[in-house]
Structures are given as structure tokens and as C-alpha cells.
Copies of this chain bind each other. A is one copy, B any other.
Amino acid sequence: MKNKRYSDNDINAIYRVIEQRRDMRHFTSEPVTKELLNRLIRAAHFAPSVGFMQPWRFIKISSFPLRQQIHQLVEQERISTAEELGVREDEFMKLKVEGLLECAEVLVVSLMADRDKHIFGRRTLPEMDVASVSCAIQNMWLAARAEGIGLGWVSIFDPKKLANLLNIPASAKPIAILCIGHVEEFYDKPMLESEDWAKRQKLEYLVFENQWQDNK
């Protein structure tokens, strides 16, 4: 693969999709074609993985009653999170944190079973399988944005309850509920920034040299 640097146009497209990707929670009812969904899952499968373990598993939720049960699990955890947030409880409860009942497709993404057999790159950092699956989801997210499709990663759920619901074995673990679908428009900024939940940090405060510096 000698052809190294991409054209300026292609490089610009890649930086643009990185900047314009959003965690979406508002969707229209328009269906997503099977071909498009397959392209996104295929993009995920090209992610890097620690020791090439490819720890990602995708469960497509085609049953609407099952989707409703998943929504109930998220709703339970949303309330528990709000209670634990204390002073920010009301503010949190006003946020839209998922679009599970509206989006065209729901995918649960899980870590594979029997992960402990894989120690390449994980002996001291077992969470590297989560890292690999996250890279896979980021691939899907960017591909979806380019295709004009919204994607939202919901992590407000109890993984044990979701595992029970989907017969996921104890040695695996679901880490994402993905809402995928067409959108009216993409948010200009991250929704949590527009809603004043948090501000974007200045990048210069996050980059140190040779040792940790706490600039904040």
C-alpha cells in the first residue's frame, strides 16, 4: 500500500466528518435500508482491536416489544442516575438522553464471550477490549454521519439486566445501545453543550509535555 497521503479533498472530508459527527437523540421515522445498516456494521468490523481479538458482537433488535423492554431498562437507569446526581437531578431529567422508540434501527453492541483468554495487550489493561469496541463504534458513527444518518450511543442502562434480556452470557458484556436513523438535521454543537450541561474544554489545557500538569 504505497499510496500514502490522500488528496486534499479526501483529507478535508475526513476532518469534516470528524467535526460534524454528533451523538443524536432525535430521529425521524424514515426506514434505514438493510444495505446501509450493513455498510455501517462492516465499517465497525474494520476497527483496530487489541491482539486482533475483534471483540465486537452486534445484536440487531428487530422485535418492537423487545425494543420497548430495552427502553424501559434505560428509563429505570435514567431515574437512578438522576437521583444520584443530586443537585443536578432536575436539569438532567430535562435532557433527552435517547431516541430509542423513534429511531429506525436499534443495535446492542456487546463485548465477546470468554474475553479472559485474550491477554495480548490486555494483561495489565483488560479494558482494552472496551477500547477496541469503542473504535468500532466510532467507525460506524463517522460512516453514518457521512451517509446522512444519525447515531446515538446510549450507556444509561444496567448491563446485567440488558444481558439477561438478550441471553448474553456472563463472560460477555453489553456496553452500548445504538440508536440509528434518519434525522431532521444534525445538531450544530454537541447537545450537552447547547443545553449548558458542560462546556467544551480548551484543548491547550489537555495537552502536557513529558509529565502530568494540572492546568485547570
Task: Tell me how many residues of A have a C-beta within 8 Å of chain B.
Answer: 108
Q: How many copies does the complex hold?
A: 2
Establish whether residues B52 and A192, one from each chain, have CB atoms under 8 Å apart when the complex forms: yes
| Min C-beta distance of A65 to chain B, whole Å | 10
CA A192 – CA B53 in complex, angstroms? 10
Inter-chain contact B131/A175, CB cutoff 8 Å: yes
Would you call A31 an interface residue if the criterion is a C-beta within 8 Å of the partner chain's C-beta atoms? no
Contact of A77 (CB < 8 Å), options: B23, B123, B187? B123
**Residues of chain B with a CB closer than 8 A to A32's CB:** none
Query: Is A130 part of the binding interface, using a Cβ–Cβ cutoff of 8 Å?
Result: yes
Interface of A is mostly: mixed
Beyond A17-B14, A156-B121, whether A60 also contacts B142 by CB under 8 A is: no
Which residues on the B side are within 8 Å of A60 (C-beta)? 207-210
- B4–A148 contact, CB under 8 A? yes
Give the shortest distance, in Å, between A132 (CB) and chain B (any CB): 8
Chain B residues lying within 8 Å of A192, measured Cβ to Cβ, are: 51-52
Chain B residues with CB below 8 A from A190, complex form? 48, 52
- Indicate which residue in B130, B138, B203 contacts A130 across the interface (CB closer than 8 Å): B130
**Additional A-B contact list (18), CB under 8 Å, known A131-B175, A135-B141:** A1-B20, A6-B17, A6-B146, A11-B146, A13-B13, A51-B197, A52-B200, A53-B198, A54-B206, A57-B208, A59-B208, A59-B212, A81-B119, A85-B120, A124-B157, A127-B127, A131-B134, A142-B142
